[in-house]
Amino acid sequence: MKGIFITMEGPDGSGKSTQIEMLKEFLGKKGYDTVITREPGGTRISENIRGIILNKEFTEMSDMTELLLYTAARAQLVHEVIKPALSSGKAVISDRFIDSTAVYQGIARGLGIDTVYDINAHALAGIMPDVTFHLDLPAEVGISRKKNQAELDRMELCTIDFHKKVAEGYRELARRNPDRIITIDATLPKEDICDIITKKIDELLKQD
Protein backbone atom coordinates (compact mmCIF):
# COMPACT_ATOMS: atom_id res chain seq x y z
CA MET A 1 0.00 0.00 0.00
CA LYS A 2 1.26 3.48 -0.88
CA GLY A 3 1.36 6.04 1.93
CA ILE A 4 -1.10 8.92 1.73
CA PHE A 5 -0.74 12.27 3.47
CA ILE A 6 -3.94 14.19 4.20
CA THR A 7 -4.12 17.53 6.02
CA MET A 8 -7.07 19.26 7.62
CA GLU A 9 -6.99 23.05 7.70
CA GLY A 10 -9.22 25.93 8.69
CA PRO A 11 -9.75 28.71 11.19
CA ASP A 12 -9.90 27.93 14.92
CA GLY A 13 -13.21 26.24 15.75
CA SER A 14 -13.91 24.94 12.23
CA GLY A 15 -14.53 21.32 13.35
CA LYS A 16 -11.34 19.67 12.09
CA SER A 17 -11.04 17.14 14.94
CA THR A 18 -14.51 15.66 14.33
CA GLN A 19 -13.77 15.20 10.64
CA ILE A 20 -10.38 13.64 11.35
CA GLU A 21 -11.97 10.96 13.55
CA MET A 22 -14.61 10.21 10.89
CA LEU A 23 -11.96 10.04 8.17
CA LYS A 24 -9.81 7.68 10.21
CA GLU A 25 -12.72 5.25 10.42
CA PHE A 26 -13.26 5.47 6.65
CA LEU A 27 -9.57 4.84 5.92
CA GLY A 28 -9.61 1.87 8.29
CA LYS A 29 -12.39 0.32 6.22
CA LYS A 30 -10.22 0.84 3.13
CA GLY A 31 -7.48 -1.19 4.83
CA TYR A 32 -5.26 1.69 5.90
CA ASP A 33 -3.30 1.80 9.09
CA THR A 34 -3.80 5.48 9.95
CA VAL A 35 -1.65 7.83 12.01
CA ILE A 36 -3.34 10.95 13.33
CA THR A 37 -1.21 13.88 14.33
CA ARG A 38 -1.49 17.60 14.95
CA GLU A 39 0.49 20.76 14.57
CA PRO A 40 2.10 22.26 16.43
CA GLY A 41 2.72 19.00 18.28
CA GLY A 42 2.64 15.29 17.63
CA THR A 43 6.04 14.44 19.14
CA ARG A 44 7.49 14.95 22.62
CA ILE A 45 9.67 17.83 21.40
CA SER A 46 6.98 19.42 19.20
CA GLU A 47 4.40 19.29 22.03
CA ASN A 48 6.88 21.14 24.24
CA ILE A 49 7.35 23.77 21.53
CA ARG A 50 3.53 23.99 21.32
CA GLY A 51 3.46 24.84 25.01
CA ILE A 52 5.79 27.80 24.40
CA ILE A 53 3.98 29.04 21.29
CA LEU A 54 0.49 28.97 22.78
CA ASN A 55 1.38 30.22 26.27
CA LYS A 56 -0.70 33.38 26.60
CA GLU A 57 1.82 34.89 29.02
CA PHE A 58 4.38 35.22 26.19
CA THR A 59 2.84 38.40 24.76
CA GLU A 60 6.33 39.68 23.79
CA MET A 61 6.90 36.91 21.18
CA SER A 62 8.03 38.38 17.85
CA ASP A 63 6.31 37.25 14.65
CA MET A 64 9.60 35.80 13.36
CA THR A 65 10.17 33.82 16.57
CA GLU A 66 6.63 32.48 16.21
CA LEU A 67 7.30 31.41 12.61
CA LEU A 68 10.57 29.70 13.56
CA LEU A 69 8.99 27.85 16.48
CA TYR A 70 6.14 26.49 14.33
CA THR A 71 8.75 25.45 11.77
CA ALA A 72 10.96 23.75 14.36
CA ALA A 73 7.97 21.80 15.70
CA ARG A 74 7.22 20.72 12.11
CA ALA A 75 10.82 19.64 11.38
CA GLN A 76 10.68 17.21 14.31
CA LEU A 77 7.22 15.91 13.39
CA VAL A 78 8.23 15.27 9.76
CA HIS A 79 11.43 13.55 10.84
CA GLU A 80 9.99 11.44 13.66
CA VAL A 81 6.43 10.65 12.57
CA ILE A 82 5.28 11.69 9.09
CA LYS A 83 8.18 10.54 6.91
CA PRO A 84 8.54 7.11 8.54
CA ALA A 85 4.77 6.50 8.47
CA LEU A 86 4.46 7.38 4.77
CA SER A 87 7.49 5.26 3.92
CA SER A 88 5.84 2.26 5.53
CA GLY A 89 2.63 2.74 3.52
CA LYS A 90 0.45 4.26 6.24
CA ALA A 91 -2.13 7.01 5.91
CA VAL A 92 -1.23 10.15 7.85
CA ILE A 93 -3.88 12.73 8.76
CA SER A 94 -2.49 15.94 10.23
CA ASP A 95 -4.62 18.52 12.00
CA ARG A 96 -2.89 21.54 10.39
CA PHE A 97 0.43 21.64 8.46
CA ILE A 98 2.35 24.08 6.23
CA ASP A 99 -0.83 25.88 5.03
CA SER A 100 -1.49 27.05 8.60
CA THR A 101 1.91 28.75 8.61
CA ALA A 102 1.33 30.27 5.17
CA VAL A 103 -1.99 31.70 6.37
CA TYR A 104 -1.37 32.63 10.03
CA GLN A 105 2.26 33.82 9.82
CA GLY A 106 2.57 34.53 6.08
CA ILE A 107 -0.72 36.34 5.47
CA ALA A 108 -2.30 37.29 8.81
CA ARG A 109 0.96 38.27 10.57
CA GLY A 110 2.20 39.76 7.29
CA LEU A 111 5.57 37.95 7.06
CA GLY A 112 4.79 36.91 3.48
CA ILE A 113 4.07 33.48 2.03
CA ASP A 114 7.46 33.35 0.28
CA THR A 115 9.30 33.83 3.59
CA VAL A 116 7.26 31.02 5.10
CA TYR A 117 8.07 28.64 2.23
CA ASP A 118 11.77 29.62 2.23
CA ILE A 119 12.14 28.88 5.93
CA ASN A 120 10.03 25.73 5.77
CA ALA A 121 11.87 24.20 2.81
CA HIS A 122 14.32 22.55 5.19
CA ALA A 123 11.73 21.43 7.74
CA LEU A 124 9.49 19.79 5.14
CA ALA A 125 12.25 17.55 3.75
CA GLY A 126 10.31 17.18 0.50
CA ILE A 127 7.03 16.20 2.18
CA MET A 128 3.83 17.92 1.03
CA PRO A 129 0.21 16.80 1.55
CA ASP A 130 -1.43 14.73 -1.21
CA VAL A 131 -4.69 16.49 -0.43
CA THR A 132 -5.81 19.21 1.97
CA PHE A 133 -9.34 19.87 3.21
CA HIS A 134 -10.03 23.49 4.07
CA LEU A 135 -13.02 23.85 6.40
CA ASP A 136 -14.21 27.34 5.61
CA LEU A 137 -15.86 29.29 8.40
CA PRO A 138 -16.44 33.00 9.16
CA ALA A 139 -13.91 34.12 11.80
CA GLU A 140 -16.59 35.24 14.29
CA VAL A 141 -18.29 31.84 14.26
CA GLY A 142 -15.07 29.94 14.87
CA ILE A 143 -13.90 32.09 17.76
CA SER A 144 -17.28 32.09 19.49
CA ARG A 145 -17.36 28.25 19.23
CA LYS A 146 -13.90 28.17 20.88
CA LYS A 147 -14.91 30.63 23.63
CA ASN A 148 -17.69 28.26 24.63
CA GLN A 149 -15.33 25.27 24.84
CA ALA A 150 -12.25 26.31 26.81
CA GLU A 151 -9.94 29.09 27.88
CA LEU A 152 -8.46 30.78 24.80
CA ASP A 153 -4.73 30.35 24.02
CA ARG A 154 -2.25 33.01 22.79
CA MET A 155 -3.28 32.62 19.13
CA GLU A 156 -7.02 32.46 19.79
CA LEU A 157 -6.67 35.65 21.85
CA CYS A 158 -5.52 37.58 18.74
CA THR A 159 -7.90 40.31 17.54
CA ILE A 160 -10.97 39.51 15.47
CA ASP A 161 -9.30 41.40 12.59
CA PHE A 162 -6.44 38.88 12.73
CA HIS A 163 -8.90 35.98 12.60
CA LYS A 164 -10.71 37.60 9.67
CA LYS A 165 -7.37 37.77 7.82
CA VAL A 166 -6.89 34.06 8.61
CA ALA A 167 -10.31 33.11 7.21
CA GLU A 168 -9.72 35.17 4.06
CA GLY A 169 -6.10 33.95 3.82
CA TYR A 170 -7.27 30.34 3.61
CA ARG A 171 -9.65 31.23 0.78
CA GLU A 172 -6.80 32.92 -1.10
CA LEU A 173 -4.46 29.97 -0.56
CA ALA A 174 -7.15 27.55 -1.79
CA ARG A 175 -7.60 29.68 -4.94
CA ARG A 176 -3.84 29.45 -5.54
CA ASN A 177 -3.74 25.65 -5.06
CA PRO A 178 -6.96 24.35 -6.64
CA ASP A 179 -5.48 20.92 -7.36
CA ARG A 180 -4.56 20.18 -3.77
CA ILE A 181 -6.82 22.25 -1.50
CA ILE A 182 -10.54 21.42 -1.34
CA THR A 183 -12.66 24.08 0.34
CA ILE A 184 -15.76 22.89 2.22
CA ASP A 185 -18.41 25.01 3.95
CA ALA A 186 -17.81 24.19 7.64
CA THR A 187 -21.34 25.27 8.60
CA LEU A 188 -22.76 22.19 6.82
CA PRO A 189 -23.85 19.21 8.96
CA LYS A 190 -20.84 17.08 9.89
CA GLU A 191 -22.15 14.05 7.96
CA ASP A 192 -22.35 16.12 4.75
CA ILE A 193 -18.79 17.38 5.24
CA CYS A 194 -17.62 13.82 5.84
CA ASP A 195 -19.32 12.68 2.61
CA ILE A 196 -17.47 15.31 0.57
CA ILE A 197 -14.16 14.33 2.15
CA THR A 198 -14.55 10.57 1.73
CA LYS A 199 -15.68 10.93 -1.91
CA LYS A 200 -12.53 12.89 -2.68
CA ILE A 201 -10.32 10.34 -0.93
CA ASP A 202 -12.03 7.52 -2.83
CA GLU A 203 -11.25 9.33 -6.10
CA LEU A 204 -7.62 9.74 -5.09
CA LEU A 205 -7.22 6.10 -4.11
CA LYS A 206 -8.71 5.00 -7.44
CA GLN A 207 -6.13 7.09 -9.33
CA ASP A 208 -3.25 5.18 -7.69
Q: Please list every residue from 40 through 69 that binds ligand TMP, using CB under 6 A.
A: 40
Q: In 88-183, which ranges are continuous DSSP H helix?
A: 98-101, 113-124, 139-149, 160-176
Edge to edge, what strands does the sheet with 181-185 contain?
A: 34-38, 91-95, 4-9, 131-136, 181-185
| Cβ-proximal residue to ligand TMP, closest one | 104
Q: Please list every residue from 161 through 200 that binds ligand TMP, using CB under 6 A.
A: none
> How near is the Cβ of 103 to ligand TMP at its closest, in Å?
8
CA distance 26 to 29: 5
> How near is the Cβ of 110 to ligand TMP at its closest, in Å?
13
101 binds ligand TMP (CB under 6 A): yes
Contacts of 11 (CB under 8 A, 6+ apart): 135, 137, 139, 142, 163, 166, 167, 170
On whether the CB atoms of residues 98 and 128 are closer than 8 A, the answer is yes
Kindly tell me which of 154 and 200 has the beta carbon lying closer to ligand TMP: 154
Residue among 100, 132, 183, 198 that touches ligand TMP (CB under 6 A): 100
Q: Which stretch binds ligand TMP (CB under 6 A): 78-86, 100-108, 173-181, 189-197?
A: 100-108
Indicate the DSSP class of residue 130.
Answer: S
Which residues are at the interface with ligand TMP (CB under 6 A)?
Answer: 12, 38-40, 70, 96, 100-101, 104-105, 155-156
